[in-house]
A and B are shown apart, each in its own frame.
Chain A
Amino acid sequence: MSTGTTKLDVVVSDVVPVNDLVTRFHFRRRDGELLPTFSGGAHVVVEMRDGDRTRLNPYSLMGSPLDTREYTISVRRDDVGRGGSLFMHRQVKPGLEMVISYPVNLFSLDLRARKHLMLAGGIGITPFMAQTAQLAGAGGNFELHYTCRTASLGTYADLLRERYGNRVRLYHDDREERIDLERLLSSQPLGTHLYVCGPAGMINWVRGRAAALGWPPETVHFEHFAAPQPGAPFDVTLAVSGKTIHVGEQQSLLEAIEAAGVDPPYLCRGGVCGQCETNVISYDGKFIHNDHWLSEEDHRSGCKIMPCVSRFEGKSLVLER
């Protein structure tokens, strides 16, 4: 059960290959009405019916929040992932009826900011597509620094340059172009907020440098949907519902709980939002925490787990679920 959200019945109105790795999908409501309003940084959870298996993956909305006739997402193909992106790339064609969640924003702009400094890495560009459109429409002050592997994999880089000119700065890994992060973070006017979306390593690097250079935590925003990592299968006892479940190698703990007919709350399914936080009653073994929600103390305590992305190795695990 996705907390506080209802589902949207949509139809795929267009599928557009963007480059070798990324494809864009357009959704419209089946009843022809406008889609719900959203703000830049919001995501939807897309339900993928793949045979007897249902995948629920979050994707940032990348269209302009000023246009709710359609939602657009861009999906980077991950050939070694759990299959969600491959399903989107191979199975989803125009005309397919799908179900998506209402938009949820866990990466929203702080509109009190005097300036918005955005750092994107790779496919992490997608929430900034919507945020820049939102800010540009309102005369907002922003600057986007976008790192991509090569020019041909710089998804939407040309479009962003065309729209916003010098407000967009590109860095190409294959040309050894690197952000001078120290200088960038040290030269921003008071009241600037920082937004980072990209690979975990980039987010950690930027957050670490910003903290060391005196940026207060409330001015630093980041989003990284951790895809659930596969791992060794394990068994879990759900104490409240009185069930024992098996978590398969390619399955997340949350998916296994849902497959057993138990309906825990969730929103992002990527270790960010905190909705599916679950108390541990007892355990004998070792947790593999992959979330960005719990504190390090929580991780060490062995009292809590985020079943959307985290796993367990050991003899027994009993959850309050």
Chain B
Amino acid sequence: MAAKTIISRPIYGTLSPQPGKHHLFIADAEGALAITDMAGKAPSGFFDGAEIVFIPSPESKHIAALEALKPMQLHVAPSFASLLPRLKQTLTNAHMGLRVYLAGTEGLIGQAMQVALEAGIDHTSIETEHRGSLARRMQCVHCKGITENVTTQPATCSHCGLLLLVRDHYSRRLAAFQGVCINAEDRSEIPPIEEAFP
């Protein structure tokens, strides 16, 4: 569970069933367990109006557990990029009353929220729960390139190669933490690199 450091650093809660008839869940890997845990608190018939979009881990765990919830639809996708067109279509056709639930890694929650925000949903209306890896999506503030799955502090920009301090400063618009050059004065100075976001 991420601690609140600065105001832009997202904090996540525990999924809880919201009133309404239509529910859209987007989860990756261990995020499936947040949904199955929540199911115990949901009123009967809740999943009759639910669509679950799930990106499993390489071991394909938890798919059967989600099937067992008998959602109206379960869509298993290989990656976030591959489900994006479908997600955008779903949100374009949706009406007020659709509730959105995001569970899993920070990268997944952030990117799915970015799409939901673009569709007009307020971030405070979205249920989130962090499960699994703490790996971060990082934007290099210098070249603007995004590096996925950053686990170290500092981290190397996969675009321009600068060594970056991964800040808690987060952009909802970009769905990324900001990375700032850590040795701008003297590039030969290399601070110890630690596993900070396992």
Q: Is the CB–CB distance between A214 and B98 below 8 Å?
A: yes
Q: Residue A191 contacts which of B19, B97, B121 (CB distance < 8 angstroms)?
A: B121
The 0/1 profile, CB within 8 Å of A marked 1, for residues 166-188 of chain B is 00000000000000000000000
CA distance A60 to B129 in the complex (A): 42
Q: Is the CB–CB distance between A190 and B91 below 8 Å?
A: yes
Cβ of B131 < 8 Å from any Cβ of A? no
The 0/1 profile, CB within 8 Å of A marked 1, for residues 112-129 of chain B is 000000011110110000
Contacts A189-B95, A190-B96 given: A214-B21 contact, CB under 8 Å?
A: yes
Q: Is the CB–CB distance between B21 and A191 below 8 Å?
A: no
Cβ of B160 < 8 Å from any Cβ of A? no
Q: Is the CB–CB distance between B98 and A190 below 8 Å?
A: yes
The 0/1 profile, CB within 8 Å of B marked 1, for residues 28-40 of chain A is 0000000000000
Q: Is the CB–CB distance between B119 and A190 below 8 Å?
A: yes
CA distance A188 to B120 in the complex (A): 12
Q: Is the CB–CB distance between A213 and B19 below 8 Å?
A: yes
Q: Is the CB–CB distance between B21 and A216 below 8 Å?
A: no
- CB-CB contacts below 8 Å: B80-130 with A: 91, 94-99, 119-122, 124-125
Q: Is the CB–CB distance between A185 and B122 below 8 Å?
A: no
- CB-CB contacts below 8 Å: B1-40 with A: 18-22
Q: Sort chain B's interface into a size bin.
A: 10 to 19
Report the minimum CB–CB distance from A253 to chain B (whole Å).
Answer: 35
Report the minimum CB–CB distance from B136 to chain A (whole Å).
Answer: 27
CA distance A187 to B21 in the complex (A): 13
Tell me whether chain B's interface is mostly helix, strand or loop, or mixed: loop
Contacts A212-B19, A213-B21 given: A218-B122 contact, CB under 8 Å?
A: yes
Q: Is the CB–CB distance between A216 and B95 below 8 Å?
A: no
Report the minimum CB–CB distance from A120 to chain B (whole Å).
Answer: 19
Cβ of A69 < 8 Å from any Cβ of B? no
**Whose C-beta in chain B lies nearest to the C-beta of A217?**
B125
**Whose C-beta in chain A lies nearest to the C-beta of B124?**
A218
Q: Is the CB–CB distance between A215 and B122 below 8 Å?
A: no
- Residues of chain B lying within 8 A (CB to CB) of residue A211: 19
Q: Residue B121 contacts which of A188, A190, A194 (CB distance < 8 angstroms)?
A: A190
Which residue, of B18, B19, B96, B119, has the highest number of chain A Cβ atoms within 10 A?
B96
**Whose C-beta in chain A lies nearest to the C-beta of B126?**
A216
The 0/1 profile, CB within 8 Å of B marked 1, for residues 84-116 of chain A is 000000000000000000000000000011100
- Residues of chain B lying within 8 A (CB to CB) of residue A219: 96, 122, 125
- CB-CB contacts below 8 Å: A94-142 with B: 112-114
Q: Residue A214 contacts which of B20, B91, B119, B120 (CB distance < 8 angstroms)?
A: B20
Q: Is the CB–CB distance between B95 and A112 below 8 Å?
A: no
- Residues of chain A lying within 8 A (CB to CB) of residue B120: 113-114, 189-192
Q: Is the CB–CB distance between B125 and A213 below 8 Å?
A: no
**Whose C-beta in chain B lies nearest to the C-beta of A115?**
B120
- Residues of chain B lying within 8 A (CB to CB) of residue A190: 91, 94-96, 98, 119-121
CA distance A187 to B122 in the complex (A): 18
**Whose C-beta in chain A lies nearest to the C-beta of B119?**
A190
Report the minimum CB–CB distance from A39 to chain B (whole Å).
Answer: 20
Report the minimum CB–CB distance from B36 to chain A (whole Å).
Answer: 22
- Residues of chain A lying within 8 A (CB to CB) of residue B94: 189-190
CA distance A189 to B22 in the complex (A): 13
- Residues of chain B lying within 8 A (CB to CB) of residue A213: 19-21, 96-97
- CB-CB contacts below 8 Å: A219-271 with B: 219
Report the minimum CB–CB distance from A288 to chain B (whole Å).
Answer: 30
- Residues of chain B lying within 8 A (CB to CB) of residue A6: none
CA distance A190 to B90 in the complex (A): 11
Q: Is the CB–CB distance between B95 and A187 below 8 Å?
A: yes
Q: Is the CB–CB distance between A214 and B124 below 8 Å?
A: no
- Residues of chain B lying within 8 A (CB to CB) of residue A189: 94-96, 120
Cβ contacts A to B, 23 pairs, < 8 Å: A185-B96, A185-B97, A186-B95, A187-B95, A188-B95, A189-B94, A189-B96, A190-B119, A190-B120, A191-B120, A191-B121, A192-B120, A194-B96, A212-B20, A213-B20, A213-B21, A214-B19, A214-B21, A214-B98, A214-B99, A215-B96, A216-B99, A218-B124
B: residues with CB less than 8 A from A are 18-22, 91, 94-99, 119-122, 124-125
A: residues with CB less than 8 A from B are 112-114, 185-192, 194, 211-216, 218-219
